[in-house]
Structure 1
Amino acid sequence: MVLDLSSELASELSQYTVITSWPAELLQRYDEEGMLQNSRVMAQLKKSTIPFSVSMDFLVNGEEHIANKTVIGLFERFEMVNSVWFPVHDVTMRRGAISFSGNKAVLPTTRLAELLYISCHVFARLSEIRRLDLRVPETLSEREIDCLNWTAAGKTSAEIAEIMMLSEHTINHYLNRATKKLDTVNRTQAVAKALRVGLIK
């Protein structure tokens, strides 16, 4: 599981999750039961940058005994009681964490070192991909931005042409150019990316 911990506002684990191989039912139940609020793992991730292991002992040692029994029962069902967690960050100091879960009780130090190395590289690469997606695209013309705004509002090329008093062919030309400049493959992606990078609202 890869988590982005840059936000303090998330109330569910799925809101922090970037990539996961957890069973969908496990993540859903975890969120439905509100387990994030009393999570000893999250508390540890917020106060430490040192990798740590989670086992039955780690989960049992807490004040919220009933909540811990629920957590243990859920993770036992999916055979994921034991895990190792690696706090990570990227070059912009964006915090995250990567975990590996399963049945193995103790991993040798050499294996933990390998997993830490892999975790740092995975988080760094995901961060690079994220920054590529958020980079400022080639400058769009005012008309291209107008066309994207109207497309985001649900208008067709014909309707946009009527609103802007241009031909439908010209509108399609502007939208195709905007799509290329945004390095996307269709209008829907172009609108989504323009919204993400703040070109349109």
Structure 2
Amino acid sequence: MILGCLIGGKLHNCAQNHVESNECMQSITESSPCCDWVNKSSAQIRSASTDYDLIKVFKDHVSGTGMKFFAFANFRLGDQTGETVSIGINNWHPEFLSDYRYHRALLQNPVLTRLRSAVLPSVVERKEIIEAETDRECRDFQQSLLKAGLEILIHLPVRSTDGQNGAVVYSGARESLSDSDLMQLSYVAQQGFERATVGAASNSNRQPVLSERERECLILTAQGLNSERVGDALGISTHTVQYHISSICRKLDAVSKIHAVSIAIRDRHIII
């Protein structure tokens, strides 16, 4: 189900009117609904000083919508590597995000690929994503998400003032979603994405916490490789990989390598 942008009480099809995504989202922002829930969320987003603060805001926010999980995503079109999807702040379980099938599905599934070029908020059933999946392993992964109660996906296109395109995506189970609900979600998502983008730009000027080799080890670990396969990929021994993982856990105050992956993705030490 593809929905238009509800502005001033009317449903506008931005795609048919050739309105760019940033113009569409600006219209949503300028016509923000007078709602205590939206005003509260907006105030909390503005007062968030760190990504951790923003995660807490959206954890409460997504719970209030009746959904389970949220994720911020940045979309980039590479030159030789093709399109990339970077997952930012989120409350997903680390084992989902570190599953290589998750990232393969993001780039290859026809439904998810179509959503990345959308300018309108969309509500998609997980079953539609599964039916479009041609990769057996990715299909099984999507089936596991469905069994976990993630029956629908709410995709909210966003664009930052510095030109970054992305989406805020909610996953869960919900019987109905009104146009007014979608408008409010879009408004809050746009503000959250803008705040996260500002935070990312600030963090990019800081001294990196992890060394380049540590980042390489952690990125491959996040893709589901064990220490032996990480070592083979980087041309180093398994012992050296384990040394780097231990160093990473110490620096990030993580209790395990999966915990370290979750922290590193959340704080943007790595992008996968």
The alpha carbon displacement at 1:123 in A equals 0.5
- How far did residue 32 of structure 1 move? 6.5
TM-aligned CA deviation for residue 67 of structure 1? 5.6
Which residue does the alignment assign to 2:90? Answer: 20
Q: TM-score, normalised by structure 1?
A: 0.56
Task: Map 1:1-201 onto structure 2 (within 5 A).
Answer: 1-6=71-76, 8=78, 9=81, 16-29=86-99, 31=101, 34-62=104-132, 64=134, 66=136, 69-134=139-204
> How far apart in 1 are the matches of 2:171 and 2:156?
12
Offset of 1:96 from its aligned partner?
1.0
Deviation for aligned residue 1:56: 3.5
Q: 1:88 to 1:132 in 2, by over 3 A?
A: same
Cα distance in 1 for partners of 2:84, 2:147 equals 20
**Contact 2:150 / 2:171 at 8 angstroms: preserved in 1?**
yes
TM superposition shift of 1:83: 1.4
TM-score normalised per structure 2: 0.43
Task: State the distance in 1 between where 2:100 and 2:144 align.
Answer: 8
Q: 1:76 to 1:46 in 2, by over 3 A?
A: closer
Q: Which amino acid aligns with 2:143?
A: G
Question: Relative to 1, partners in 2 of residues 1:115 and 1:5: Cα closer, same or farther, differing over 3 Å?
Answer: same
**1:6 is paired with a residue of what secondary structure?**
strand
* Paired positions, count: 137
Please state whether the residue corresponding to 1:107 is helix, strand or coil: coil
Task: Give the letter aligned to residue 185 of structure 2.
Answer: L
Pair 1:17–1:41, CA change in 2 (3 A) = farther
Q: Which residue of 1 aligns with 2:233?
A: none
Per-residue CA shift, 1:8-64, capped at 9, x if unaligned?
Answer: 448886xx1111111112222354683233223431233211111120442244262
Change beyond 3 A, Cα 1:28–1:132: closer
Higher RCO structure (Cα 8 Å, ≥6 apart): 2
User: Equivalents in 2 of 1:19, 1:50: separation in Å?
Assistant: 22
In the alignment, the residues of structure 2 paired with residue 65 and residue 82 of structure 1 have an alpha-carbon distance, to the nearest angstrom, of 20
In structure 2, relative to structure 1, the CA distance for the partners of 1:69 and 1:107 (3 Å cut) is same
Of Structure 1 and Structure 2, which has the larger fraction of its residues in strand?
A: 2
Please tell me whether the aligned partners of residues 88 and 98 of structure 1 are also in contact (alpha carbons under 8 angstroms): yes
Return the alpha-carbon distance in structure 1 between the equivalents of residues 153 and 102 of structure 2. Answer: 21
Query: Which residue identity is paired with 1:132?
Result: S
Instruction: Mark the structure with the bigger radius of gyration.
Output: 1
Taking the aligned partners of 2:154 and 2:102, their CA distance within structure 1 comes to 24
Root mean square deviation, CA, Å: 3.2
Structure 1 gaps, min length 5:
138-147, 153-187, 189-201
Q: Secondary structure at the match of 2:105?
A: coil
- Aligned-residue identity in percent: 17
